């Protein structure tokens, strides 16, 4: 295991270009989900430090927003290159605090860096408009300007990529930021700040605070200088933040919960469907907002699909994300996750579902859940209504296309959906009718920097990545010019 990660184990917050402790000197421990050993401590900050971070971001905004997009791109590309140069150390640090297998952590560092490169380039293409006039003396112009100070609250499941997905468009657009990473995985964020410092990104442009989530959130939402909040996390917290931001009418990007349906039709390529559903279900040990939550399988392919999934689930290796040879599934983030998953499994079984494999905490440790396959489930069960967020695949049998679409759409959220079919007409019909922001056809992996990620209904607001992702960090200004 590379020890180089210790260079990046920053145990202080980053405000106005200074590494600092909490005002009251309190700290929070961060534990390794694999064995609950201590990884390190971070400052337990609150409102006063957050206000100072906003002061710094507001001061830095004056000069950062005036730089040309080309100059900002140069800073971002330098940051991008440093992240990739230090990929191995950053990935090790991520596995230590988050638990995911090292290969997935390396993949996340690359994925995270790709947003920086994409938006460094995209920042140079945020041109405005000239609108044809309706009066001889008037000219109508539209320019786009950075929205101002942006607050970001980022999750523990992708501690690097969910941060860069927000920072890269914000910084490229000319905004400055105050970021609160999850207290469960703060070190990946602090390592990114250390590399931003090395890349020469000026002080105050990117600030990182952590600690008391409520105190920090209250200040971020209440301070009128913060003009936008971007959040990835649960729908419940998203709704709370939405309400809290009403007082200062901030722009919001919310990437909230999902409950992804998978529709496997009789005409699907079985081997491909199984391999891709496994990827969509078990990536990050099932802890992504786009993980396959409800697997609807048409009756003609059902038995063969279940048989192949059973073998595939049994073959998943479980263990320390840093172990050699590598494992596919790591520990879950905490014991609360295990308790929630067990309650969902138990309720499904009590209502008639059958556990084909797994269904219990794994002997490997108290934060491991044995990869699980459940059949005979029905859509009234809690396991169909809630996000499982763990390594439990649940299969439902369906007869007709219309029935599958109705079931898929019968939840209040709408982030990602998957469809497996060889029929092009069905691909169109189903994609158009699924009430989701993303439809992934014949593949279980679709996330990248160049395409729009985001949901409809209670899955949130806005899109991240792609040419659309930067618009959320820009204000439109209409200039009416009398030329006489």
| Spatial distance between the Cα atoms of 185 and 158, rounded to a whole number of angstroms | 9
Q: Which long-range contacts (CB under 8 A, 24 or more apart) does 105-108 make?
A: 105/321, 108/158, 108/160, 108/161
What is the phi/psi pair of residue 397, to 5°? -95, 135
CB of 48 to ligand SIN, least distance (A): 30
CB of 258 to ligand SIN, least distance (A): 8
Q: Does 176 bind ligand SIN (CB under 6 A)?
A: no
Identify the sign of the CA torsion 107, 94, 217, 224.
negative
User: Which helix (DSSP H) or strand (DSSP E) does residue 385 occupy?
Assistant: helix 382-385
Q: Which is nearer to ligand SIN, 212 or 255 (CB)?
A: 255
480 catalytic? Reply is no
Please state the three-class secondary structure of 73-131 as a single string. Answer: HHHHHHHHHHHHHCHHHHHHHHHHHHCCCHHHHHHHHHHHHHHHHHHHHHHHHCCCEEE
Stretch that binds ligand SIN, among 1-9, 155-163, 175-183, 202-210 (CB under 6 A): 155-163
CB of 233 to ligand SIN, least distance (A): 9
CB of 104 to ligand SIN, least distance (A): 11
Stretch that binds ligand SIN, among 16-24, 154-162, 330-338, 436-444 (CB under 6 A): 154-162
Query: In terms of DSSP H, where are the helices of 257-381?
Result: 270-282, 299-314, 335-350
Q: Which is nearer to ligand SIN, 89 or 254 (CB)?
A: 254
- Cβ 341 vs Cβ 388: under 8 Å: yes
What is the phi/psi pair of residue 268, to 5°? -70, 155
CB of 282 to ligand SIN, least distance (A): 13
289 catalytic? Reply is yes
Q: Which is nearer to ligand SIN, 371 or 465 (CB)?
A: 465
* Contact positions with ligand SIN (CB under 6 A) in 394-453: 447, 453
| Spatial distance between the Cα atoms of 288 and 390, rounded to a whole number of angstroms | 9
| Spatial distance between the Cα atoms of 244 and 257, rounded to a whole number of angstroms | 19
CB of 136 to ligand SIN, least distance (A): 51
- Cβ 149 vs Cβ 229: under 8 Å: no
Q: How many CB atoms lie within 10 A of CB 271?
A: 9
Among 290, 405, 419, 434, binds ligand SIN (CB under 6 A): 290
Q: Which is nearer to ligand SIN, 122 or 223 (CB)?
A: 122
CB of 133 to ligand SIN, least distance (A): 43
Candidates 167, 175, 245, 289; catalytic one: 289
| Spatial distance between the Cα atoms of 417 and 261, rounded to a whole number of angstroms | 5
Report the interhelical angle of 69-85 vs 87-98 (nearest 10°): 70
Q: Does 388 bind ligand SIN (CB under 6 A)?
A: no
Q: Which is nearer to ligand SIN, 252 or 289 (CB)?
A: 289
Compute CA distances 33 → 255, 402, 471, whole Å. Answer: 24, 42, 37
Q: Does 158 bind ligand SIN (CB under 6 A)?
A: yes
Stretch that binds ligand SIN, among 43-51, 285-293, 374-382, 418-426 (CB under 6 A): 285-293
| Spatial distance between the Cα atoms of 378 and 393, rounded to a whole number of angstroms | 13
Q: Does 289 bind ligand SIN (CB under 6 A)?
A: yes
* Contact positions with ligand SIN (CB under 6 A) in 101-130: none
Q: Which is nearer to ligand SIN, 262 or 290 (CB)?
A: 290
Q: Does 232 bind ligand SIN (CB under 6 A)?
A: yes
User: Which helix (DSSP H) or strand (DSSP E) does residue 61 occupy?
Assistant: helix 47-64
DSSP 366: T
- Cβ 373 vs Cβ 313: under 8 Å: yes
Stretch that binds ligand SIN, among 70-78, 284-292, 347-355, 357-365 (CB under 6 A): 284-292
Tokens read off for 363: 């002997």
- Cα atoms in the 13 Å half-sphere on the side-chain side of 236: 2
Question: Which residues are CB-contacts of 413 (< 8 A; sequence separation ≥ 6)?
Answer: 235, 256, 257, 258, 259, 455, 457, 458, 459
CB of 81 to ligand SIN, least distance (A): 23
Candidates 255, 387, 458, 464; catalytic one: 255
Q: Which is nearer to ligand SIN, 232 or 370 (CB)?
A: 232
What is the CA angle 109-43-390, rounded to 5? 45
CB of 267 to ligand SIN, least distance (A): 27
- Cβ 421 vs Cβ 265: under 8 Å: yes
Q: Does 5 bind ligand SIN (CB under 6 A)?
A: no
Q: Which is nearer to ligand SIN, 5 or 115 (CB)?
A: 115
* Contact positions with ligand SIN (CB under 6 A) in 250-279: 255
Q: Does 288 bind ligand SIN (CB under 6 A)?
A: yes
Query: How many residues bind ligand SIN, per CB under 6 A?
Result: 10
Q: Which is nearer to ligand SIN, 72 or 294 (CB)?
A: 294
Q: Which residues are catalytic?
A: 255, 289
Binding site for ligand SIN (CB under 6 A): 157-158, 162, 232, 255, 288-290, 447, 453
């Amino acid at each position: 295991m590379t020890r180089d990660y210790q260079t990046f184990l920053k145990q202080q917050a980053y405000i106005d270009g200074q590494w600092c402790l909490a005002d009251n000197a309190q700290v929070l421990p961060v534990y390794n989900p694999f064995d609950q050993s201590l990884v390190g401590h971070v400052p337990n900050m609150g409102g006063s430090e957050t206000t100072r971070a906003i002061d710094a971001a507001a001061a830095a905004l004056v000069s950062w927003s005036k730089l040309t997009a080309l100059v900002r791109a140069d800073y971002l590309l330098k940051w991008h290159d440093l992240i990739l140069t230090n990929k191995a150390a950053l990935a090790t640090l991520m596995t230590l605090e988050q638990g995911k297998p090292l290969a997935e952590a390396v993949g996340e560092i690359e994925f995270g860096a790709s947003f920086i490169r994409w938006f460094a380039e995209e920042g140079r293409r945020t041109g405005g408009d000239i609108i044809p006039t309706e009066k001889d003396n008037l000219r109508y112009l539209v320019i786009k300007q950075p929205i101002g100070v942006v607050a970001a609250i980022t999750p523990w499941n992708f501690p690097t990529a969910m941060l860069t997905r927000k920072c890269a468009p914000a910084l490229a657009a000319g905004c400055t930021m105050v970021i609160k990473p999850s207290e469960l995985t703060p070190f990946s964020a602090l390592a990114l700040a250390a590399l931003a410092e090395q890349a020469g990104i000026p002080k105050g442009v990117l600030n990182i605070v952590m600690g008391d989530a409520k105190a920090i959130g209250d200040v971020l939402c209440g301070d009128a200088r913060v003009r936008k909040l971007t959040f990835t996390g649960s729908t419940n917290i998203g709704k709370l933040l939405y309400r809290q931001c009403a007082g200062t009418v901030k722009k919001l990007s919310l990437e909230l919960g999902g409950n992804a349906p998978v529709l496997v039709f009789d005409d699907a390529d079985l081997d491909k469907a199984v391999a891709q559903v496994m990827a969509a279900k078990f990536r990050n040990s099932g802890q992504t907002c786009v993980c396959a939550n409800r697997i609807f399988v048409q009756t003609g392919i059902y038995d063969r699909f279940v048989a192949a999934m059973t073998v595939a689930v049994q073959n998943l290796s479980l263990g320390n994300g840093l172990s050699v040879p590598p494992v596919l599934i790591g520990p879950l983030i905490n014991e609360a996750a295990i308790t929630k998953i067990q309650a969902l499994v138990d309720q499904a079984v009590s209502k008639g579902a059958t556990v084909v494999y797994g269904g219990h905490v794994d002997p490997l440790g108290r934060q491991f859940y044995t990869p699980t396959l459940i059949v005979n489930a029905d859509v009234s069960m809690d396991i169909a209504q809630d996000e499982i967020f763990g390594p439990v695949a649940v299969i439902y049998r369906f007869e007709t296309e219309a029935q599958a679409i109705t079931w898929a759409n019968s939840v209040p959220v709408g982030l990602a959906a998957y469809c497996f079919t060889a029929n092009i007409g069905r691909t169109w019909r189903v994609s158009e009718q699924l009430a989701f922001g993303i439809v992934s056809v014949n593949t279980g992996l679709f996330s990248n920097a160049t395409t729009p990620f985001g949901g409809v209904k209670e899955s949130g607001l806005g899109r991240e990545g792609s040419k659309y992702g930067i618009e959320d960090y820009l204000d439109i200004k209409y200039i009416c010019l009398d030329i006489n």
